[in-house]
């Protein structure tokens, strides 16, 4: 389509006068200036969106420090950020917490999310028989734990302390009833506490791939679902020991698989034949 000439009638029938050479040059200059400004703004916006602030212009604020804000995971400031993800995960799968339930070290989550669906709550502790523990033992070698016994096992932030993690997951599968479910969460990107009981036994940091492989190998014929939780902001905040209420839900709920702060697993044991 050709451009209208200056003397082409307009919609109202009037004929505009011819543009002078100076007017055309001024219009072209203004148009070019507007185009260049739009281009600069677009490039600036894209750079900020994709690349972030330019080099030397990042404002670290109160986080520009060589020590964390807190070394207590956020407990001294409120609830830790990883607990936000753990409890949201368990709440989403609370219908699987029923019948005879085993939890590790304490039964806090069994009581919080099991409601009246739990008929028997048991607690496994590694070496402390005092309440709330009902049984002691090592998940890597626990022949005294009955096979096909539990409807659900809740195991949060535990497998990273077990060196032979493959044997532990095989035990979890063995002691589950057919059709039973393990609800597990593990640390991905995390601080490792200074206290010797943890620092000397914290063997692993997990990823979606490693957890999927571990549980798929043990739960042959069953169902395994693995999710990651966290993003760069929530991970940095967690490493600094901030609490989850220092971030917004929008900031917490954004999942970035490149920053796997927490990894959760729903593993269901294959149902009995004919069930």
pLDDT in tens, 4-50: 444 444 455 555 555 566 666 766 766 666 666 555 555 545 555 55
The answer to the question of residue 40 being in a domain is yes
In terms of domains, do 44 and 113 share one? no
176 and 252 both lie in a single domain = yes
Q: At residue 213, does pLDDT exceed 60?
A: yes
Do residues 174 and 113 both lie within one domain?
yes
Residue at 274 is within a domain = no
Are 120 and 24 contained in the same domain? no
Chain centroid to CA 187: how far? 10
Q: Tell whether 159 and 23 lie within a shared domain.
A: no
- Which domain, by its residues, includes 233? 81-268
Note whether residue 46 is domain-resident: yes
Radius of gyration of the chain (CA): 30
Are 143 and 54 in the same domain?
A: no
Compute CA distances 268 → 185, 219, 265, whole Å: 15, 7, 10
The enclosing domain of 263 has a CATH number of 3.40.50.150
DSSP states along 209-265: HHHHHHHHHHSTTSEEEEEEE--HHHHHHHHTT-BGGGS-HHHHH---TTS-SEEEE
Considering the domain architecture, whether residues 130 and 232 belong to the same structural domain is answered as yes
Rounded Cα distance, 113 and 138, in Å: 25
In this structure, the answer to whether residues 17 and 153 fall within a common structural domain is no
- Could you report the per-residue pLDDT of 232-273, keeping only the tens digit for each? 999 999 999 999 999 999 999 999 999 999 999 999 999 987
Q: Is 273 a member of any domain?
A: no
Q: Are residues 97 and 145 in the same domain?
A: yes
CB 183 within 8 A of CB 231: no
Same domain, 112 and 245: yes
User: Are residues 38 and 89 located together in one domain of the fold?
Assistant: no
Q: How far apart are the first and last CA of the chain?
A: 72
Q: Bigger pLDDT: 207 or 51?
A: 207
Task: Give the count of domains, the chain.
Answer: 2
54 shares its domain with 167: no
């Amino acid at each position: 389509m050709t451009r209208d000439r200056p003397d082409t009638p307009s919609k109202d029938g009037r004929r505009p006068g011819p543009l002078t050479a100076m007017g055309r040059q001024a219009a072209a200059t203004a148009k070019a200036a507007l185009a260049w400004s739009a281009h600069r703004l677009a490039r600036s916006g894209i750079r900020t969106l994709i690349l972030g602030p330019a080099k030397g212009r990042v404002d670290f604020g109160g986080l520009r420090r060589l020590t964390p804000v807190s070394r207590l995971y956020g407990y001294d400031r409120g609830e830790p950020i990883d607990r936000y993800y753990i409890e949201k995960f368990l709440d989403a799968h609370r219908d699987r917490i029923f019948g005879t339930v085993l939890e590790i070290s304490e039964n806090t989550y069994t009581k919080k999310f099991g409601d009246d669906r739990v008929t028997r709550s048991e607690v496994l502790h590694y070496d402390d028989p005092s309440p709330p523990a009902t049984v002691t033992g090592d998940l890597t070698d626990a022949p005294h734990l009955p096979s096909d016994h539990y409807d659900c096992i809740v195991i949060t932030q535990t497998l990273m302390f077990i060196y032979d993690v493959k044997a532990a997951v095989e035990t979890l599968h063995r002691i589950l009833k057919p059709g039973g479910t393990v609800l597990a969460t593990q640390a991905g990107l995390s601080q490792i506490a200074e206290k010797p009981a943890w620092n000397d036994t914290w063997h692993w940091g997990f990823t979606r791939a490693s957890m999927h492989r571990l549980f798929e190998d043990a739960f042959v014929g069953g169902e395994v679902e693995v999710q990651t939780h966290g993003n760069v902001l929530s991970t940095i905040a967690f490493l600094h020991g901030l609490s989850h209420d220092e971030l917004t839900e929008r900031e917490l709920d954004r999942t970035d698989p490149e920053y796997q702060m927490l990894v959760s697993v729903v593993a269901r044991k294959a149902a009995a034949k004919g069930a």
